[in-house]
């Protein structure tokens, strides 16, 4: 009766969320691991000479049940978790790490893969198949295949420990976000906050058992959206202090020891595999290639970013604090450009931005079409589902949107492949976008901030990368590219949010139906570089913390993460109190519970490619099908089937030029 044991009967094999129960996951995942180990054993013991088909393609086809069950579990644990799922996460994560290790350290299997790797130039393979052989060989070497039996045991133990620690970190971050909600006793304290947000705060307080009061729930970043509006300086200070203190308060969600243990275990893993530190281990697989390249990027950006931030602070007055920055920046924006974010929100209604903005841009650029499927349900009644079609009417895939924040949903915004595209099986992609937009009270419109509009376009860039995937092997599908390349297509897609013919199509007042006045649009464009010192400094500071943790040897990992952070920020000249890092270590989920360990620099690295690509679009006529078709065919559809920078040069016709990025960030 377990619905995970068989392929989903729903269109595009959409996971049957309505039938899934917590108790389905562990049996399905354990059965999936057992099945895959049998498949792997058969491949490894095959008496026939190793071939692409009987070894590596066979591995690509293995583990269907495990992949199906693991994806569904991961999606729900991130978006609709509960105590049972968090307990399962703690149990399943080390089991999956051990399972992966058992495959990567299978000596007979590695002999076959090594044989193919040694003969890859004489096997007459097509380019994608040859790359598949190379990537599998690298995966196995990085997974410990060349280690001695004793070191393999050590690596298995480290992998299990790291999986358990990451699960604990995830649980603590979510628990701390909910536990750190700031309570305001009176409506007067919320002066300046838009009325829909006040009503949402009242509903949140009621849910927390504080009816009659108002609860400001925290988001994942250090900065908090209400700080833009709240006139009460004391309340702003309470919110910022609560945000910065997450994971260090000595309560059950304290993440300090978890951060230290993760950093130390990662350093030990890197040393075991022959790398000087974990950053070197990670960066070898990225387009940056080396620790030195990333350090040079951050060293180049930090001084001018902080100088810009200090200049911005001086323009806002003396004694600016982190709690005051957003509020004063909005006042400065209003004085300089005669508008603030509250004037924009009525023109940014969620569904209108999605359909008449995000989708409209994709239709204009790529010719794809969208049809809402109200018969297809996700795991929440608030989710939207759209079938996506090519210009010729052929089905492309399925897109799901989960846009609202929930107490049991992880912070931030992200994209997930519910079903990855595969040329082997003929499966078409199912891609989900997940945001954390505060849900308004019943009957109220969902009005977005300018940043949330950009995030909607950004995440759909990831969705396009997955939907356009057209590779043979699932190993290369969609966003299966280097971490410092994966953000590039999504950042490019942000350009259409401000493109005049797209902007005018969706920026319509939710009550009057009138478009945003052209003079207001011009002010938005003029303010594009406003506050770039702040934005760049907080991103660089977070990137420096990430690198600092992961460039340590095991014996160098400190016991006090708070003191370590302060020393790192001071060393690199980004210890500017009004601009704290976008994430502190104890709630830095990207690097301690996600896939961005030693990789948070990726957003800045990818933005160099993004800014250069925006210039290419402008030089070649902007929003037209020929440009979209080129971007799709030469880059988006290729996934990881070819070297990332080769794909970029093939699309752009040249190496990336950093000047547009420096200009955008006011660093030139």
* Neighbour tally for 442: CB within 10 Å: 7
Report helix, strand or coil for 387. Answer: strand
Q: Give residue 527's pLDDT.
A: 86
Paired strand residues for 182 = 216
pLDDT beyond 90 at 668: no
Q: Tokens 């702040």, residue?
A: 534
Q: What is the pLDDT of residue 372?
A: 98
pLDDT digits (tens, 9 = 90+) for 370-426: 999 999 999 999 999 999 999 999 999 999 999 999 999 998 999 999 999 999 999
Instruction: Give the SS3 label for residue 397.
Output: strand
For residues 513 and 283, what is the distance between their CA atoms, to the nearest angstrom? 49
Structure tokens at 114: 């090594």
Residue 355's pLDDT is what? 98
Cα-Cα-Cα-Cα torsion 235, 239, 242, 245, nearest 10 degrees, comes to -120
Across 240-265, average pLDDT? 97
31-54: average pLDDT: 98
Q: Tell me: the pLDDT tens digits for 328-356?
A: 999 998 899 988 888 999 999 999 999 99
What would the mean pLDDT of 150-158 be, rounded to a whole number? Answer: 97
pLDDT tens-digit map of 79-133: 999 999 999 999 999 999 999 999 999 999 999 999 999 999 999 999 999 999 9
Find the helix packing angle between 644-652 and 602-619, rounded to 10°.
20
Cα 606 to Cα 464, 644, 648: the distances in Å are 17, 11, 11
Q: What is the pLDDT averaged over residues 526-548?
A: 95
Spatial distance between the Cα atoms of 374 and 384, rounded to a whole number of angstroms: 7
Tokens of 377: 């349900």
Q: CA 120, 122, 125, 126: dihedral to nearest 10 degrees?
A: 100
Average pLDDT on 509-527 reads 90
Q: Is 345-480 the same fold as 276-335+530-664? A: no
pLDDT at position 93 is 95
Task: Indicate the pLDDT class of residue 301, thresholds 50, 70 and 90.
Answer: very high
- Name the CA dihedral angle for 65, 70, 76, 81, rounded to a multiple of 10 degrees: 130
Q: What confidence tier does 499 reach under pLDDT thresholds 50, 70, 90?
A: very high
**Contact yes or no for 476/132 (Cβ under 8 A):** yes
- Provide φ and ψ at 369, rounded to 5°: -130, 155
In which residue are the tokens 């396009």 written? Answer: 464
pLDDT above 70 covers a percentage of the chain that reads: 100
Beta-bridged to residue 515, according to DSSP, are: 508
Report the mean per-residue pLDDT for the chain. 96
Give CA–CA dist 635/464, Å, rounded. Answer: 11
Whole-model pTM: value is 0.93
Confidence band of 528 (pLDDT split at 50, 70, 90): confident
**Distance between CA atoms of residues 372 and 388, nearest Å:** 9
Predicted pLDDT of residue 523: 87
> Quick one: tokens of 174?
């979510």
Domain 345-480 has CATH 1.10.3720.10: no
**If DSSP codes are grouped into helix, strand and coil, which group holds residue 388?**
strand
From 434, 437, 461, 439, select the one nearest 450 (Cα to Cα).
Answer: 437
The per-residue pLDDT for 317 is 84
Enumerate the active-site residues: 459
Report strand pairing: 384-389 vs 414-419.
unpaired
Q: The domain at 276-335+530-664 falls in which architecture?
A: Orthogonal Bundle (1.10)
**pLDDT band for position 318 (cuts 50, 70, 90):** confident
Q: Where are the alpha helices (DSSP H) in 527-587?
A: 532-550, 561-571
Cα gap 147→141, rounded to integer Å: 9
pLDDT category of residue 47 using cuts at 50, 70 and 90: very high
Alpha-carbon dihedral sign for residues 331, 603, 609, 403: negative
Model confidence at 618, pLDDT cuts 50, 70, 90, reads: very high
Q: Are 201 and 216 in contact (CB under 8 A)?
A: yes
Q: In the block, which residue shows the tokens 């095959």?
A: 46
**So what's the pLDDT on residue 641?**
98
Compute the C-alpha angle 595/598/603, nearest 5°. Answer: 75
pLDDT value, residue 521: 82
- Number of other residues whose CB lies within 10 A of the CB of residue 334: 14
The neighbouring-strand residues paired with 389 are 369, 395
pLDDT reported for residue 524: 85
Q: How many CB atoms lie within 10 A of CB 252?
A: 10
Over residues 64-87, mean pLDDT = 97
Per-residue model confidence as pLDDT tens digits over 183-235 = 999 999 999 999 889 998 999 999 999 999 999 999 989 999 999 999 999 99
Long-range contacts at 559-567 (CB < 8 A, ≥ 24 apart) = 559/260, 560/256, 561/256, 561/259, 561/260, 561/585, 561/586, 562/248, 562/256
Dihedrals phi, psi of 437, to nearest 5 degrees: -80, 130
Residues 6+ positions from 116 with CB-CB distance below 8 Å: 50, 51, 52, 55, 56, 123, 133, 137
Structure token pair of residue 579? 């601009």
Name the residue ranges covered by the structural domains of the chain: 3-104+106-142, 180-245, 276-335+530-664, 345-480
CA distance 383 to 437: 13
Closest C-alpha to 485, from 361, 651, 622: 651
């Amino acid at each position: 009766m377990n619905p995970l044991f068989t392929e989903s009967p729903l269109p595009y094999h959409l996971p049957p969320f309505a039938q899934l129960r917590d108790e389905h996951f562990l049996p399905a995942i354990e059965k999936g691991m057992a099945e895959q180990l049998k498949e792997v054993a058969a491949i490894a013991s095959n008496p026939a000479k190793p071939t692409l088909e009987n070894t590596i393609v066979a591995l690509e086809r293995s583990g269907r049940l495990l992949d199906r069950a693991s994806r569904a579990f991961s999606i729900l644990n991130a978006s609709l978790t509960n105590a049972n799922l968090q307990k399962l996460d703690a149990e399943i994560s080390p089991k999956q790490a051990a399972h992966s290790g058992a495959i990567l350290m299978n000596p007979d299997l590695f002999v076959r893969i090594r044989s193919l790797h040694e003969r890859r130039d004489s096997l007459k393979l097509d380019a994608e198949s040859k790359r598949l052989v190379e990537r599998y060989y690298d995966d196995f070497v990085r997974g410990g295949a060349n280690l001695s039996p004793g070191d393999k045991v050590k690596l298995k133990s480290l992998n299990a420990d790291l999986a358990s620690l990451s699960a604990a970190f995830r649980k603590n971050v979510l628990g701390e976000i909910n536990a750190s909600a700031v309570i305001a006793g009176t409506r007067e304290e919320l002066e300046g906050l838009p009325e829909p947000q006040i009503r949402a705060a009242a509903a949140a307080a009621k849910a927390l058992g504080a009816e009659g009061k108002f609860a400001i729930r925290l988001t994942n970043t250090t900065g908090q959206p209400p700080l833009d509006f709240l006139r009460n300086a004391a309340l702003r200070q309470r919110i910022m202090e609560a945000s910065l203190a997450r994971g260090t308060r000595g309560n059950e969600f304290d993440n300090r020891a978890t951060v230290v243990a993760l950093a130390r275990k990662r350093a030990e893993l890197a040393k075991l595999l022959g790398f000087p530190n974990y950053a070197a281990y990670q960066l070898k697989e990225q387009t940056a290639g080396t620790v030195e390249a990333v350090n040079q990027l951050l060293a180049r950006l930090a001084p001018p970013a902080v100088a810009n931030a200090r200049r911005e602070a001086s323009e806002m007055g003396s004694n600016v604090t982190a709690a005051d920055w957003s509020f004063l920046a909005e006042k400065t924006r209003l004085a300089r450009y005669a508008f603030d974010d509250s004037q924009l929100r009525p023109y940014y209604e969620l569904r209108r931005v999605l359909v008449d903005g995000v989708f409209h841009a994709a239709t204009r650029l790529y010719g794809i079409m969208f049809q809402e499927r109200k018969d297809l349900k996700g795991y929440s009644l608030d989710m939207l589902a759209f079938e996506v079609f090519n210009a010729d009417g052929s089905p492309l895939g399925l897109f799901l949107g989960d846009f609202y924040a929930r107490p049991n949903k992880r912070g931030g915004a992200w994209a997930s492949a519910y079903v990855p595209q595969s040329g082997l099986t003929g499966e078409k992609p199912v891609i989900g976008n997940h945001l954390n937009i505060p849900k308004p009270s019943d009957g109220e419109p969902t009005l977005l901030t300018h940043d949330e509009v950009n995030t909607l376009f950004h995440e759909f860039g990831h969705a396009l990368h997955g939907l356009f995937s057209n590779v043979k092997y699932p190993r290369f599908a969609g966003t299966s590219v280097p971490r410092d390349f994966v953000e590039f297509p999504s950042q490019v897609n942000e350009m259409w949010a401000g493109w005049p013919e797209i902007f005018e199509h969706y920026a319509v007042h939710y009550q009057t139906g009138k478009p945003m006045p052209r003079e207001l649009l011009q002010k938005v464009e003029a303010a594009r570089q406003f506050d770039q010192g702040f934005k760049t400094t907080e991103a660089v500071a977070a990137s420096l913390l990430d690198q600092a943790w992961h460039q340590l040897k095991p014996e160098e990992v400190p016991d006090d993460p708070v003191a370590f952070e302060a020393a790192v920020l001071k060393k690199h000249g980004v210890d500017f109190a009004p601009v704290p890092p976008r994430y502190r270590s104890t709630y830095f989920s990207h690097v301690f519970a996600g896939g961005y360990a030693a990789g948070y620099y990726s957003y800045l690295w990818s933005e160099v490619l993004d800014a250069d690509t925006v210039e290419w679009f402008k030089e070649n006529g902007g929003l037209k099908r020929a440009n979209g078709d080129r971007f799709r065919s030469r880059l988006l559809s290729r996934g990881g089937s070819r070297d990332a920078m080769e794909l970029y040069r093939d699309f752009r016709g040249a190496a990336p030029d950093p000047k547009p990025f420096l200009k955008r960030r006011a660093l030139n």
